[in-house]
Amino acid sequence: MKTLTELHCPECQSLKNDPFKKYNTVHNGERILLKCDECDNVFSETAGTPMQDIKSPISKVASVLKIRSEGMGLRATGRVLGMHKNTVSTWERLFGDQKETLMLYSFCHEFVSLVFEGDELYTVVGRRTDAHASEGWTAVIMERSSRFIVDQRCGAKDAALFESVMSTVCEYISQTGDLSFFSDGERRYGNTLFAFCAEALRNGKPGRPPKTLPKGLKLRVKNKGDQKHKRGPKRKKYQAPLREHPETDQELDESNIHANHVEANNAAMRRRNSAFRRRTNTYAKTVLGLQRTLDVYWVIHNFVRKHWTTGEVPAVAMGVLSAPLGLEDILMMQK
Ligand SMILES: [Zn+2]
């Protein structure tokens, strides 16, 4: 597997290359040109990285991302650093686009066991509408012990939103034999997961074989509704709404079934992503703009910043990386 910092030739994708010569840039000092061993193509060490399109010093780009990821708004960041807000958002987009590479990299590992929590949070996008009609919903999936954000996507609270985050969850099912998914929110997490990955159970009995979740996958969703004042037998707080594989180990401590960690993260996101803070009437102008800030948050939260309670960078804690990445590493990483 290609490491994150290894450079490949943009022409033939070969990883074999040698330094060819050095060149000077106005703001970023000396940079290296590399020559491909396979096709003799000469390319810069920034080819295919976010910095390829940026002339400003890499340290300035990193400080913009740092300030933004501490919760300062787009316009305020532009004013403080004396630059146009559109430049700020362009840099964010180039940086946030690294999510895809980092996500694919994360799928390539094997995990002993994973505990995912799913929840939704909400902000206003564009004009204020009824919450149901809003496109400002964000579905967040977090791995519990590492606090790694598996995925977070925004849009209308519809099937497509749940499909987009659960397709990421599906990538992890084949990477571990033991995955639990808990949610206090929507039942659609479970239904979508079932639609994506349920398997027919070959049990030797006649008739159509029943479908179950893959072996090792457990799902618990909170029972909504007023349990205190309901007549009849009390329902359990969490239920397993879908048929699970008969060989799935059902040992689950009741106290472990909750989505508390992803909820705690929602509070942090409101503090650190200005689009989720109630300041003015509009928090995010467009869904695309909101997703851009979510992608930046995803990269920094998972790969750069130590988590405030575990004291570790989530990707390191989950076993995806051996050491944290710096903002500048990610800006010099090829797509
Ligand atoms: Zn080449």
Q: CA-CA distance, 312 to 183, in Å (whole number)?
A: 24
pLDDT at residue 253, rounded to an integer: 84
Ligand 1: centre distance to CA 69 (Å): 37
Compute, in angstroms, the gap from residue 102 CA to the centroid of ligand 1.
Answer: 23
pLDDT at residue 128, rounded to an integer: 76
Per the structure block, which two tokens stand in for 310?
């575990």
51 Cα to the center of ligand 1, angstroms: 20
The answer to whether 220 and 182 are in contact (CB under 8 A) is: yes
CA of 94 to the centre of ligand 1 (A): 24
- Taking the centre of ligand 1 as the mean of its atom positions, its distance from the CA of residue 42, in whole angstroms, is 8
The Å distance, Cα 182 to ligand 1 centre, comes to 46
Which pLDDT does position 281 carry in this prediction? 47
Q: Please tell me the distance between residue 224's alpha carbon and the centre of ligand 1 in angstroms.
A: 57
| 3-state SS string for 200-241 | ECCCCCCCCCCEECCCCEEEEEECCCCCCCCCCCCCCCEECC
Distance of CA 93 from the midpoint of ligand 1 (Å)? 28
How remote is the CA of residue 334 from the centroid of ligand 1, in Å?
15
Tokens 């007549």, located at residue: 231
Q: What is the pLDDT of residue 282?
A: 54
CA–centroid distance, 16 to ligand 1, in Å, is: 8
What are residue 125's DSSP bridge partners?
A: 284
For the chain, the domains span 1-47, 110-202+209-225+236-318
Q: Give the tokens for residue 290.
A: 């909101």
**What spacing in Å lies between the alpha carbon of 45 and ligand 1's midpoint?**
13
What residues are paired with 31 via a beta bridge?
23
302, with CB counted inside 10 A (0-12, 13-18, 19+), is buried
Judge whether 136 and 284 are in contact, CB under 8 Å: yes
Residue 199, pLDDT score: 84
The pLDDT of residue 135 is 86
Distance CA 224, CA 222 (A): 6
| Angstrom distances, CA of residue 202 to CA of 249, 250, 268 | 19, 20, 45
Cα-to-centroid distance, 118 and ligand 1 (Å): 43
Instruction: Determine the residue type at 295.
Output: D
Q: For residue 32, what is the enclosing H or E element? A: strand 30-36
- How many whole angstroms from 212 Cα to the centroid of ligand 1? 47
Q: How far does the centroid of ligand 1 lie from the alpha carbon of residue 126, in Å?
A: 46
Q: How far is the CA of 35 from the centre of ligand 1 (A)?
A: 8
Q: Hey, which residues does 151 pair with through a beta bridge?
A: 141
User: How far, in Å, from the CA of 12 to the mean position of ligand 1?
Assistant: 4
Exposure string for 42-80, b = 16+ CB within 10 A, e = fewer: ebbbbbbbbbbebeeebeebbebbebbbebbbbebbbee
Expressed in angstroms and rounded, the spacing between residue 15 Cα and the centre of ligand 1 is 8
CATH fold, domain 110-202+209-225+236-318, is Nucleotidyltransferase; domain 5 (3.30.420)
The pLDDT assigned to 201 comes to 80
- The confidence score (pLDDT) of residue 278 equals 62
pLDDT at 291: 95
Q: State the virtual CA torsion across 107, 109, 113, 116 in degrees, nearest 10.
A: -20
**For each of the chain's 335 residues, which pLDDT tens digit applies?**
668 888 999 999 999 999 999 999 888 889 999 999 999 999 999 999 999 989 899 999 999 999 999 989 999 999 999 999 999 999 999 999 999 999 999 999 999 999 999 999 888 888 777 877 888 899 999 999 999 999 999 999 999 999 999 999 999 999 998 999 999 888 899 999 999 988 888 777 888 888 999 999 999 998 877 656 666 777 788 888 889 998 998 878 888 999 999 999 988 988 899 888 765 545 678 889 999 999 999 999 999 999 989 999 999 999 999 999 999 999 999 98
pLDDT at position 283: 67
How many angstroms does the Cα of residue 165 sit away from the middle of ligand 1? 35
Dist. CA 18 → ligand 1 center (Å)? 11
